[in-house]
Amino acid sequence: MTQSLIQSTVIVVGGPAGTGKTTTATALADHFSSPFIEGDVLHPQVNVDKMSKGIPLTDDDRWDWLKTLSQQTSIASLDKDNKSNIAIVSCSMLKKVYRDYIKLNSTNHNHIRFRFVFLYTTFEELINRVENRKGHFMKSDMVKSQYEIMEIPEGVELVSNGGDSIAIDATGKTPEQINKEVIDSLAL
């Protein structure tokens, strides 16, 4: 695939609960003047109910949600009124198979460049942040299951090796530092 076929870019900001997805995605949207879609808003009510009770989602609960967020963000990136030709979405995308699924289920994956920005930090920091977060269905008892299944992008997944992903260790960094590191690493 040559660069000339690329019409737009979808940036998916991921990582476990409390890692800073919404904070980073909002800052990226501001930087690029691009739309930001909060992935949690696209869950069907049945998923929200499950997570609210502290029950982790299964892969079968996730596929339709991942497809929906991929397609809505792809459409937003291609919208003729979106001059940046970039759209941003937050999604935990904890496993490689979810990242692959998001890309393959886009409306037009041959013409959309994907960038998966995976943020991670320590388990203790995540627990602390999620416990202090108000008004969200994810409670801190869900962080353990997320941390256990989390696959930080590595090897051929990385942009530096020809892939679509960047992995950012957010530990001890301010949102501004993280944002700069992300923008420098995106290779857009």
Q: Give me the residues that bind ligand ADP (CB under 6 A), please.
A: 15, 17-23, 90, 129, 133, 170, 173-175, 178
Would you say 89 and 69 are in contact if contact means Cβ atoms under 8 Å apart? yes
8, β-bridge pairs: 112
17 binds ligand 6PG (CB under 6 A): yes
170 binds ligand 6PG (CB under 6 A): no
Identify what 20 binds: ligand 6PG, ligand ADP, none; CB under 5 to 8 Å per kind. ligand ADP
Which residue in 72, 106, 146, 165 binds ligand 6PG (CB under 6 A)? 146
Q: What is the DSSP letter of 118?
A: E
57 binds ligand 6PG (CB under 6 A): yes
Using CA atoms, how far apart are residues 146 and 95, in angstroms rounded to an integer? 10
Which residue in 8, 12, 40, 120 binds ligand 6PG (CB under 6 A)? 40
Q: What is the DSSP letter of 54?
A: T
92 binds ligand 6PG (CB under 6 A): yes
Identify what 173 binds: ligand ADP, ligand 6PG, none; CB under 5 to 8 Å per kind. ligand ADP
Identify what 62 binds: ligand 6PG, ligand ADP, none; CB under 5 to 8 Å per kind. ligand 6PG
Place of tokens 């886009």: 106
152 binds ligand 6PG (CB under 6 A): no
State the alpha helices, DSSP H only, in 79-159. Answer: 96-104, 123-132, 143-149
List Cα–Cα distances, 38 to 22, 42, 112, 133, 135, in angstroms. Answer: 7, 8, 19, 16, 15
Among candidates 157, 107, 104, 117, which has minimal Cα distance to 7? Answer: 107
- Note the residues at the interface with ligand 6PG (CB under 6 A): 16-17, 21, 40, 56-57, 62, 92, 94, 136, 138, 146
